[in-house]
Amino acid sequence: MPVTKPHAVLLISCQDQRGIVTAVSSFISVNGGNIIHAEQHTDETLGIFFQRIEFELDGFGIQRDQIAAAFAPTAKRFGMTVEVRFTDVRPRLAIMASKQPHCLYDLLTRWRTGELAADLQCVIDNHPDHAEVCGEFGIPYIHLPITPDTKPQQEAQVIETLEKYDVDFVVLARYMQVLSTELIADYASRIINIHHSFLPAFVGANPYRQAHDRGVKLIGATAHYATADLDEGPIIEQEVARVTHRDDVASLTRKGRDLETIVLARAVRAHLEHRVLPYGHKTVVFS
């Protein structure tokens, strides 16, 4: 792969008002920056302005660790929430899985082939099934079984493990347990889950059985940030596939696996490219 020079990304949201676009682009050009991408969106119902602006660090007159401070007066003037990110900073990633292998294996493969801009630290599993595969990929594998009785202890172990590996981004690759509210609060907008239905249809357990019972002609999958309300998190990506009366629950499940895999991969990629701005229980996903 070619070496790419690092860029900075500003993720901005604030109340919609005049002059924001000019103020932000001036900040960059006055300091000698070259804007590579700029996208904006206004939620006209709520009156919120969102912007993602990416510019070259090369030639920019402010050191990367000074950018946030230098931008603070502009942010203050417009009442902005701002995140400053860098395209060469790879988040430390943990994947959590249960028995089902497809999303886990797919992410491992994408990570190995360099497609995921993250540093995979560990795989946490409440079942022991994927130890060998993770070993082959050279990834620490932490088996944390859970029972109704040991739930609080297991949840504490999960948090300990994430802290031990200094994880800052978690992907739930068909992890079939509810996370503790503490963990979800600590990792707000930094945990992506895949639900195996077209939300908000078929919330909860066994969505493929529900889909079969209802006789739908399309099945879906939904990637979203994990929140305390199960299956109510901000949706990042969804996709569907056509099915027919011929598809029994097993067939729906098999076809759904390919959907889940691709939808989760797209959502993780959008997050890692700093293209997702969650707000309320919705998201802006820039292209």
Stretch that binds a copy of itself, among 61-69, 74-82, 180-188, 237-245 (CB under 8 A): 237-245
DSSP string, 74-86: HHHHHT-EEEEEE
85 vs 276: CA distance, rounded Å: 12
Local structure of residue 244 (DSSP, 8 states): -
Stretch that binds a copy of itself, among 145-153, 168-176, 178-186, 232-240 (CB under 8 A): 232-240
Stretch that binds a copy of itself, among 70-78, 83-91, 143-151, 210-218 (CB under 8 A): 210-218
* Catalytic pick among 166, 231, 247, 258: 231
Nearest approach, Cβ of 240 to a copy of itself (angstroms)? 5
- Counting residues that bind a copy of itself (by CB under 8 A) gives 64
Nearest approach, Cβ of 200 to a copy of itself (angstroms)? 5
Binder of a copy of itself out of 168, 186, 258, 273 (CB under 8 A): 258
202 vs 214: CA distance, rounded Å: 10
Those residues whose C-beta lies under 8 Å from the C-beta of residue 286, and which sit 6 or more positions away, are 39, 41, 52, 275, 276, 277
Confirm whether 231 is a catalytic residue. yes
147 sits near a copy of itself (criterion: CB under 8 A): no
Q: Which of 256, 257, 275, 258 is nearest to 267 (CA)?
A: 275
Cβ–Cβ under 8 Å, residues 171 and 93? yes
Encoding tokens for residue 287?
């292209």
Query: If 0-12 CB within 10 Å is exposed, 13-18 middle and 19+ buried, where does residue 227 land?
Result: buried
105 sits near a copy of itself (criterion: CB under 8 A): yes
Binder of a copy of itself out of 102, 157, 159, 206 (CB under 8 A): 102
Indicate the pairing of strand 169-173 with strand 191-195.
parallel
Footprint (CB under 8 A) of a copy of itself, residues 172-201 = 198-201
Residues with catalytic annotation?
231
Q: Which residues bind a copy of itself (CB under 8 A)?
A: 18-19, 21-22, 25-26, 28-29, 34-45, 101-102, 105-106, 109, 113, 115, 136, 198-202, 212, 214-218, 220, 234-240, 242, 244-246, 248-249, 254, 258, 262, 265, 280-285, 287
